[in-house]
């Protein structure tokens, strides 16, 4: 695995801990070799000890132990180089050929693009010109990190560059949400159980709420985030993945293209929003000062790398409409934000109320609708909320819940999303990766919001206090339709 961006943030926080975990669980072969490439001059030994420090500090890996670290670290190498220098790729080719002999890598290569997105095109072109995308003696795959472009036009342009060098089946566009156990379980929940699918439609579902709330701000990523915003950072990718998995039709099997075809069909069924409609179906916001978990937080505009006049959204809520037989008339409300009250990612299916209420003592607005909540993280699990009779003489009704918790059922450790996805790429299974058509469809759906919010007639950006649940306008979006966001 050649990691372009070998000393970058992603490599440090996600890739190296995941690879070490895989090695420790003996899920990758002994000859597995990592070549980190970045500009800073460094010897292999220095790189190895740096990686070990990263693993020891990583959230998603236990500290290294000598018995498993030694054999893993034997396969780690470093190449100080400039990605833009075409001549470097001839040298890279030689280095990789030497590993084929020395470490038995057999011509198999994964090129991991973990650099700034502005470097992608040069790297891809250079790999192409050096003939390194060709599968002469083994397989060659490329993993591309998000963001794939910054709008529809640039995503198309990037996809054209990628397709000029790699076949589509060599390309693995990673969205780490698809690697989360709880996200994959959504498919098992829907398609390995007989009792939910019959009610998973407009006849029984009133609406769907998908929330990805974070209780952290942009931290040191201000400069990146200024260029991104919540639409690009979360909605176009992670949130659309969750939405498609909830809304898709059952595929005939779990083969890569069967699943990805159904997901693409959902994206094609989402009603595109016109620029005039943006104000009616979407709300943006930016965090001001406030307290999160008792800690005082600066306003977004005071963060490092952020312009004091920034209009970048750190919160977005959108009402999507799916025009197909299953979902006609069922709104999908999606919201995400930074510095909110709590970290909670959840998909909630809110069912229709009973058509008639026989318990006259209970005013109808006290009887809540049934809710199925799939908690993606933290406290992973599934809850079904229903009404029950309070013990006692009178017919008092109160919501109660049935709960499934991953932690108590399966134990505390779920493997990290990157472990799953890296291994899938190694074995050549692209089911949980994004396909070219879906990436472009998702961009086309968020484009009207991008256009409107970046134009001056988008109006001033509403702010919300850090530690709240977002701007009041987001509540109004649902209140207009007599609904409200779930309190998480």
Query: Which residues are designated catalytic?
Result: 238
424 counts as binding ligand BG6 under rule CB under 6 A? no
Give the helix/strand (H/E) hosting 404.
Answer: strand 397-405
The nearest distance, CB 380 to ligand BG6, in angstroms, is 12
For ligand BG6, the closer CB: 176 or 301: 176
For ligand BG6, the closer CB: 233 or 303: 233
Q: State the Cα–Cα distance between residues 466 and 215, nearest whole angstrom.
A: 9
Q: Please name which of 313, 115, 348, 141 lies closest in space to residue 231, comparing C-alpha atoms.
A: 313
Q: Which position has the token pair 């919160």?
A: 315
Q: Can the peptide bond before residue 378 be classed as cis, meaning omega within 30 degrees of 0?
A: yes
For ligand BG6, the closer CB: 170 or 438: 438
The nearest distance, CB 214 to ligand BG6, in angstroms, is 6
Give the helix/strand (H/E) hosting 210.
Answer: strand 205-213
The nearest distance, CB 341 to ligand BG6, in angstroms, is 16
For ligand BG6, the closer CB: 205 or 246: 246
The nearest distance, CB 114 to ligand BG6, in angstroms, is 13
Output the residue with the shortest Cβ distance to ligand BG6.
233
The nearest distance, CB 174 to ligand BG6, in angstroms, is 10
Q: State the Cα–Cα distance between residues 83 and 271, nearest whole angstrom.
A: 41
The nearest distance, CB 210 to ligand BG6, in angstroms, is 13
Contact characters 327-346, ligand BG6, x per CB under 6 A: ------------------x-
Q: How many residues bind ligand BG6 (CB under 6 A)?
A: 3
Q: Which position has the token pair 């800073």?
A: 40
- Going 296 to 300 to 301 to 302, the CA torsion angle's sign is positive
380 counts as binding ligand BG6 under rule CB under 6 A? no
Compute how many other C-beta atoms are within 10 angstroms of the C-beta atom of residue 431. Answer: 16
For ligand BG6, the closer CB: 214 or 346: 214
Strands 315-321 and 282-292: antiparallel
The nearest distance, CB 128 to ligand BG6, in angstroms, is 27
| H runs (alpha helix) in 351-435 | 406-410, 417-427
Q: State the Cα–Cα distance between residues 243 and 85, nearest whole angstrom.
A: 41
Q: Is 337 helix (H, G, I), strand (E, B) or coil?
A: strand
With CB under 6 A as the contact rule, the residue among 214, 313, 380, 424 that binds ligand BG6 is 214
Q: Rounded to whole angstroms, what are the CA distances from 309 to 54, 286, 338, 450? A: 36, 11, 18, 18
Q: State the Cα–Cα distance between residues 314 and 320, nearest whole angstrom.
A: 19
User: For residue 278, which phi and psi values (nearest 5 degrees)?
Assistant: -50, -45
For ligand BG6, the closer CB: 76 or 432: 432
For ligand BG6, the closer CB: 171 or 231: 231
Angle between helices 88-102 and 120-129 (to 10 degrees): 70
233 counts as binding ligand BG6 under rule CB under 6 A? yes
Residues lying near ligand BG6 in the complex (CB under 6 A) are found at: 214, 233, 345
């Amino acid at each position: 695995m050649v990691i372009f961006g070998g000393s970058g943030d992603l490599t440090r926080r996600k890739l190296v801990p995941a690879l070490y975990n895989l090695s420790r669980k003996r899920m990758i072969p002994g000859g597995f070799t990592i070549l980190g490439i970045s500009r800073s001059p460094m010897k292999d030994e220095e790189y190895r000890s740096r990686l070990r420090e990263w693993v020891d500090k990583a959230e998603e890996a236990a500290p290294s132990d000598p018995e498993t670290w030694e054999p893993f670290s034997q396969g780690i190498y470093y190449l100080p180089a400039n990605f833009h220098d075409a001549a470097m790729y001839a040298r890279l080719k030689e280095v990789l050929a030497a590993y084929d002999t020395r470490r038995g890598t057999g011509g198999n290569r994964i090129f991991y693009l973990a650099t700034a997105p502005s470097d992608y095109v040069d790297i891809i072109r250079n790999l192409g010109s050096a003939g390194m995308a060709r599968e002469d003696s083994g397989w060659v795959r490329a993993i591309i990190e998000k963001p794939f472009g910054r709008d529809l036009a640039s995503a198309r342009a990037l996809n054209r560059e990628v397709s000029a060098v790699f076949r589509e089946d060599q390309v693995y566009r990673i969205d780490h949400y698809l690697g989360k156990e709880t996200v994959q379980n959504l498919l098992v929940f829907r398609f390995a159980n007989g009792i939910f699918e019959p009610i998973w439609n407009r006849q029984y579902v009133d609406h769907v709420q998908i929330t990805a709330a974070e209780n952290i701000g942009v931290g040191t990523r201000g400069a990146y985030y200024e260029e991104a915003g919540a639409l690009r950072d979360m909605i176009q990718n992670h949130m659309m993945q969750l939405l498609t998995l909830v809304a898709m039709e059952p595929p005939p099997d779990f083969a890569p293209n069967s699943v990805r075809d159904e997901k693409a069909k959902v994206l094609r069924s989402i009603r595109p929003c016109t620029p005039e409609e943006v104000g009616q179906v979407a709300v943006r916001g930016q965090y001001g000062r406030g307290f999160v978990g008792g800690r005082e937080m600066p306003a977004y505009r005071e963060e490092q790398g952020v312009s004091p006049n920034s209009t970048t959204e750190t919160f977005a809520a959108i009402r999507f409409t799916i025009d197909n037989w299953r979902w006609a008339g069922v709104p999908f409300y999606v919201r995400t934000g930074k510095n909110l009250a709590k970290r909670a990612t959840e998909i909630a299916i809110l069912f229709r109320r009973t058509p008639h209420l026989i318990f006259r003592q209970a005013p109808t607005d006290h009887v809540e609708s049934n809710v199925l909540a799939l908690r993606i993280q933290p406290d992973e699990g599934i809850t079904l909320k229903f009404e029950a009779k309070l013990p006692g003489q009178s017919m008092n009704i109160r919501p109660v819940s049935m709960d499934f918790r991953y932690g108590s059922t399966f134990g505390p450790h779920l493997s990290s999303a990157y472990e799953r996805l890296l291994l899938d790429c190694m074995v050549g299974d692209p089911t949980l990766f994004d396909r070219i058509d879906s990436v472009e469809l998702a961009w086309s759906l968020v484009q009207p919001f991008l256009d409107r919010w970046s134009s001056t007639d988008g109006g001033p950006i509403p702010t919300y206090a850090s530690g709240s649940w977002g701007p009041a306008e987001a509540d109004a979006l649902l209140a207009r339709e007599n609904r409200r966001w779930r309190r998480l």
